[in-house]
Amino acid sequence: MINENEILEAKDLDQWMDLAESRMPGNLYFLYEACFSGSFVAMLKNESMLDSKRIIMTSASNEDAHLLHEGALSFSYQFWASMFESPYVYFAFNQAQTMMQTYQTPQLDADGDGIANEKKDFLVYWAAWMYQYKKARYVRFLMHCHEY
C-alpha cells in the first residue's frame, strides 16, 4: 500500500499490472483521469503484446483534463455514469469520449503497443467488448433460467 506521502512511479504501476495480468483471467482495465494522463499510455505498454490483456484508458492526451460543473462534466464522471446505466466498458468509454471531445482527447490503448487511438486499438477493444457482452448474455440467461 502507498500513502499520501508516497509517489507511485509509472514503472512500478506497470510492474503491478504485469503481475495482476499473470494472475487473473480476462482483461485488465486501467482508467486514469488527470492532466496529461495520456503520457502514461507509452509507459504502461505491455512488453508481451502477443498475450496482452491490458486496456489503458486515459481522460486526456498531452493536454489538460477538464472537470467542469463541479466534476459532473468530466471524463471519469461520464464513464462511471455510463457504467451505472449499462455495465459495458466499450460503451462507457465511447460515451465519455463523446461527451468530452470538445475539451480534451481521451486515449485508448487496447493492443498493448503503447500507442493510443489507433484503428487496431478500437478493433481489439470492440472484440473484448463482444466477448464480455456474449458472456454477460449467457450469464443473464442462466440467471433467468434459475429463477423458474
Kindly report the number of other CB atoms within 10 A of residue 78's CB atom.
Answer: 21
In-domain check, residue 24: yes
Please state the separation of Cα 4 from the chain's center in Å.
Answer: 24
Q: Give pLDDT tens digits for 81-107.
A: 998 887 778 888 989 999 999 999 999
Residue 109's H or E segment, with its range, is strand 107-109
In-domain check, residue 5: no
Averaged pLDDT, 46-67:
82
Domain extent at residue 74 = 10-147
Q: What does the block give as the cell for 109?
A: 490503448
* Lowest model confidence (mean pLDDT) among 53-62, 81-90, 110-119, 120-129: 120-129
Q: What is the tally of structural domains in the chain?
A: 1
Instruction: Classify residue 145 as exposed, middle or buried by CB count within 10 Å of its CB (0-12, 13-18, 19+).
Output: exposed
* Lowest model confidence (mean pLDDT) among 10-19, 54-63, 130-139: 130-139
Q: What does the block give as the cell for 1?
A: 500500500
In-domain check, residue 1: no
Residue 123's H or E segment, with its range, is helix 119-147
> What pTM does this model have?
0.79
Query: Residue 109: what pLDDT?
Result: 92
In-domain check, residue 2: no
